[in-house]
Structure 1
Amino acid sequence: MADANETDMRREHRRRVLKGASILTGISNSEIKCVVRNMHQNGAELDVPVGAPVPAEFLLYVPIDGIAYRSTVVWRKDKRIGVSFSGKEPKPSWHYG
């Protein structure tokens, strides 16, 4: 359950989803596997491995959507992170997935 501060920060209703995704950092073409827990057109909540080195900005590739979302971390709590989207791109040519 979200606390009051987290709820206040949400401006849009997020749809619950469970989509596999990859955080693409572009540093040596590295990726961190994650799960999209909920999503709306301007952001998402991700479930990431504990201790994963998630940068402040990255490309979130969601294979089932065939879209990479330019993402910025807005909040972090344990293994969950909230991101805002600033744009969409096609799948990066260097990503094999």
Structure 2
Amino acid sequence: MSEEANHREREHRQRVLKGATIITSIHNSEIPCVIRNQHTNGAELKVAADAIIPERFSLYVPVDGVAYESVMRWRRNDRVGVQFTGTGPKPRFHYG
């Protein structure tokens, strides 16, 4: 990606502070996280530095009432960049 395209992408990210949960397919385990910024196609998450994040997962955002199907694109310590590939309803097994 060119520097100009990267700059444009960063400008369009909306800075947010939303609580969210990474829901993995392994025994439906949940990993708490915070969305730091979000745009139409993805988001930047803050997670525990030692959290094991799978390549693909559902990101449930209670304030949106949506589970975003997500693919991890990058990780730096406690920051994770994800791309959204679709959406779904609140997972029925999630108690939040």
Q: TM-score scaled to structure 1, two decimals?
A: 0.88
Runs of 4+ more than 4 Å apart: none
Counting only pairs closer than 5 Å after superposition, residues 39-50 of structure 1 correspond to structure 2 as 39-50=38-49
When the two structures are aligned, how many residues end up with a matched partner? Answer: 93
What is the Cα deviation at residue 95 of structure 1? 1.2
Number of the residue aligned with 1:58: 57
User: Structure 1 residues 51 and 28, CA, compared in 2 at 3 Å: closer, same or farther?
Assistant: same
What is the Cα deviation at residue 17 of structure 1? 0.1
User: Structure 1 residues 76 and 66, CA, compared in 2 at 3 Å: closer, same or farther?
Assistant: same
Amino acid at match of 1:11: E
Counting only pairs closer than 5 Å after superposition, residues 3-14 of structure 1 correspond to structure 2 as 8=6, 11=9, 13-14=12-13
Amino acid at match of 1:58: F
**Over aligned residues, Cα RMSD in angstroms?**
2.0
Q: Deviations over 1:53-74 (max 9, x none)?
A: 1000000000000000000001
Structure 2 portions without partners, runs of 5+:
none
What is the Cα deviation at residue 26 of structure 1? 2.3
Structure 1 portions without partners, runs of 5+:
none
Hey, what's the Cα distance between the residues in 1 that align with 2:53 and 2:72? 9
Number of the residue aligned with 1:29: 28
Aligned sequence identity (%):
56
Q: Deviations over 1:61-89 (max 9, x none)?
A: 00000000000001111100000000000
Counting only pairs closer than 5 Å after superposition, residues 77-92 of structure 1 correspond to structure 2 as 77-92=76-91
